[in-house]
Amino acid sequence: MVNCVGQMLEKIVDGLESGKELAKDELAALLLSDDLAGTDYLKKRARYVADCIYGKDIYIRGLIEFTSYCRNNCFYCGIRCGNQNAQRYRLSKEQIMTCCEYGYTLGFRTFVLQGGEDAYYTEEKICSIVYGIKSRFQDCAVTLSIGEKSRENYQAYYHAGADRYLLRHETANQEHYERLHPKELRLENRKKCLYDLKEIGYQVGAGFMVGSPFQTLDTIYEDLQFIRELEPHMVGIGPFIPHKDTPFAGTRAGTLEMTLRLLSIIRLMNPRVLLPATTALGTIHPMGRELGIEAGANVVMPNLSPVDVRKKYQLYDNKLCTGDEAAESLHNLKKRMADIGYRIVIDRGDFRRE
């Protein structure tokens, strides 16, 4: 017998795929439905769309978490400045270069420099690191993920050679933003940063956590609207996972299923987007990575930080940093991707305009 609920989801998915804007009740149907055939259809169509643009290629990024110092006190984050238990470290330019050397031999052609908002790394220092990497590895892309800076800073990093910038918007809803961040942090400024970055010429990544405290269907709807408006080249989404030394200790984590459905929706809304199956997704489920790829993701970001600092970059409890999460286990990751029919490629993995 034909399943009408399933057919309803199929209709919504077909609409999304043809570029139709998603209505709020349609989003609700996609996210809340327990119709497995329908949600399976959602994931399959999203994967099909990703295949049409990126084929079976999976891009890798070497993630270098170069500072765990942060001036901000975001309620969800384990490296918030108020966390006295967090272990702090900084990597020198030489240490960062060594990570890149090693990463290059493994096949990485994108290095992501991520860190807290740490004033120790002045504009000059960041530019020197970026320039150092770009001169040594001319066939590589450098992505920065170091938070909110001035337009002049962003311009200078770009001039030094930075290609991409990741700055999750975290939530596009004002009240929700205020419930996740201390009052010094303004959604308006975050959005402005993203638009500045885009105007300067970066490939830009926005994104949010799935299942963060106080998130609702309405806030997610606004996230999707914001993404539609910004048209980022990358979208980073992963489940929220509580950290024991934050105000959100003891709250519930986001779910695998909700994250997968949102990955699919974002892929369908923005077929060319670079979409990582994030570390957080790998942390909440042993097959999170694979399931993310199968739901439309096309990027993975193994950890390339020096082994002795990895445990200190604890954004949330039990964050993976070893095993197949680690760059040195790339052969395992390759095998895992091959097992589901995908191949990790040696490529910068740029956004494909056409």
Smallest gap, in angstroms, from Cβ of residue 37 to ligand 5AD? 30
Smallest gap, in angstroms, from Cβ of residue 40 to ligand 5AD? 26
The angle that helices 256-269 and 36-54 make with each other, rounded to 10 degrees, is: 50
Q: Which two tokens stand for residue 319?
A: 């964050």
Nearer to ligand 5AD, 127 or 280 (CB): 280
Nearer to ligand 5AD, 103 or 207 (CB): 207
Q: 211 φ, ψ to 5°?
A: 85, 25
Smallest gap, in angstroms, from Cβ of residue 318 to ligand 5AD? 11
Smallest gap, in angstroms, from Cβ of residue 159 to ligand 5AD? 25
Q: Which two tokens stand for residue 230?
A: 């910004």
Nearer to ligand 5AD, 13 or 167 (CB): 167
CA 271 to CA 275: how far, in whole Å?
Answer: 10
Smallest gap, in angstroms, from Cβ of residue 4 to ligand 5AD? 37
Smallest gap, in angstroms, from Cβ of residue 101 to ligand 5AD? 25
Task: Please say whether the beta carbons of 66 and 98 come within 8 A.
Answer: no
Rounded to the nearest 5 percent, the helix, strand and coil shares of the chain are 45, 15, 40
Residue type, 34: D
Nearer to ligand 5AD, 33 or 203 (CB): 203
Smallest gap, in angstroms, from Cβ of residue 255 to ligand 5AD? 13
Nearer to ligand 5AD, 65 or 196 (CB): 65
**Among the listed residues 222, 221, 238, the one whose alpha carbon sits nearest the alpha carbon of residue 297:** 238
- The angle at the Cα of 49, spanning 43 to 50, to the nearest 5 degrees, equals 90
Nearer to ligand 5AD, 12 or 327 (CB): 327
Nearer to ligand 5AD, 16 or 297 (CB): 297
Task: Please say whether the beta carbons of 109 and 58 come within 8 A.
Answer: no
Q: Which residues bind ligand 5AD (CB under 6 A)?
A: 76-77, 168, 170, 209, 238, 240-241, 243, 280, 315-316
- Report the residue closest to ligand 5AD, judged by CB: 316
Task: Please say whether the beta carbons of 185 and 176 come within 8 A.
Answer: no
Q: Which two tokens stand for residue 169?
A: 């918007």
